[in-house]
């Protein structure tokens, strides 16, 4: 019939010596656009390699293979091969349908979960072990910089070895391992008090960080201390401008949105050594920028 083709191959009965009757030949018709009509029956690839959209897919329909007796080894291999080839046929059908849709301007199949991954080859991850970060430094409530370093070091471990930190309990146990002994005792008493109030309470990494940060004072106390420190902050002779900026950033972090970028610039330039302030003033005048002071 014009517009439809049937692709067949004769099957010899000797190819299936263990069957009562040889399998009959089934064809998969191709329409004029190269698509393959679905067939609900079991199919098996006999031969041929798919090289293009119009190449044949030769399949045969297996005879009724329901058995009441044991499965022979050669039959098990045959069934496994049938299962593998049937999956390949179904994949070819799906890919041909996707190609036909794409050629007429329909690319919605790439937004359907699972469809775009049909033709995706997933490469295995490298097996080489990545270097582990250094152990976190002990946090002893010295200052905010020490707290930030302890928090950053612990979370580097969490990100670097996610398989070892799949639960909050594992993160809590690791993080509290790197605090001073007084803070370990503080955390123990805090957990006991929470469990007395709520027996179902569970510690989390976020709660550990909050408790350890509060050892530097409450949020209001830390803000007041940061404000006073900024008011007294001046660059020391042996202190670089970068070190001064790093120190002031910790204080601005405590004050939050109260310190706008413009206020931060004014506070920083005012804290610099006089000769550096003079250099910045002259440079800004030469470049046509208004002086900050």
pLDDT values of the chain reduced to their tens digit, one per residue, 293 residues = 455 454 445 555 555 455 545 444 444 455 544 444 444 444 444 444 444 444 555 444 444 445 555 556 688 888 888 888 898 888 888 888 878 777 777 766 555 444 444 444 444 444 445 566 788 999 999 888 899 999 999 999 898 888 889 899 999 999 999 999 999 999 999 999 999 999 899 999 999 999 999 998 888 888 888 888 888 999 998 989 999 898 888 888 888 877 888 888 889 999 999 988 888 888 877 766 555 54
CB neighbourhood size of 264 (10 A): 17
The CA-based angle 146-151-154, given to 5 degrees, is 125
- Where in the chain are the domains? 13-61+77-111, 144-214, 219-286
The alpha carbon of residue 289 and the mean position of all alpha carbons in its chain are separated, in whole angstroms, by 45
First-residue to last-residue Cα distance in the chain: 91
Measured between alpha carbons, how far is residue 289 from residues 24, 272, 284, 285, 292 in Å? Answer: 89, 19, 5, 6, 9
pTM of the model: 0.46
**Longest C-alpha distance within the chain, in Å?**
103
Give the chain's count of helices (H) and strands (E): 9, 3
3-state secondary structure (DSSP) of residue 63: coil
């Amino acid at each position: 019939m014009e517009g439809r083709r049937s692709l067949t191959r004769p099957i010899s009965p000797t190819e299936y010596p263990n069957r009562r009757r040889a399998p009959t030949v089934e064809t998969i018709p191709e329409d004029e656009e190269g698509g393959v009509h679905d067939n609900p029956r079991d199919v098996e690839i006999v031969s041929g390699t798919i090289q293009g959209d119009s190449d044949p897919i030769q399949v045969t329909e297996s005879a009724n293979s329901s058995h009441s007796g044991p499965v022979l080894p050669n039959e098990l291999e045959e069934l496994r091969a049938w299962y593998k080839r049937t999956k390949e046929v179904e994949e070819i059908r799906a890919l041909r349908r996707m190609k036909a849709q794409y050629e007429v301007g329909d690319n919605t199949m790439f937004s359907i979960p699972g469809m775009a991954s049909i033709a995706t080859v997933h490469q295995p991850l490298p097996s080489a072990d990545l270097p582990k970060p250094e152990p976190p430094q002990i946090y002893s409530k010295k200052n905010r910089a020490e707290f930030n370093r302890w928090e950053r070091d612990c979370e580097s471990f969490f990100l670097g070895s996610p398989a070892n930190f799949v639960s909050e309990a594992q993160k809590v146990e690791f993080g509290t391992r790197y605090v001073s002994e007084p803070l370990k005792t503080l955390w123990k008493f805090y957990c006991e008090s929470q469990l007395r109030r709520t027996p179902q309470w569970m510690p989390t990494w976020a709660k550990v960080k909050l408790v350890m940060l509060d050892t530097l004072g409450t949020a209001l106390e830390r803000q007041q201390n940061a404000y006073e420190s900024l008011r007294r902050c001046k660059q020391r002779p042996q202190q670089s401008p970068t070190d001064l900026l790093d120190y002031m950033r910790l204080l601005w972090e405590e004050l939050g949105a109260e310190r706008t970028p413009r206020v931060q610039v004014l506070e920083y330039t005012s804290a610099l050594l006089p000769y550096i302030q003079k250099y910045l003033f002259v440079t800004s005048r030469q470049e046509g920028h208004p002086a900050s002071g």
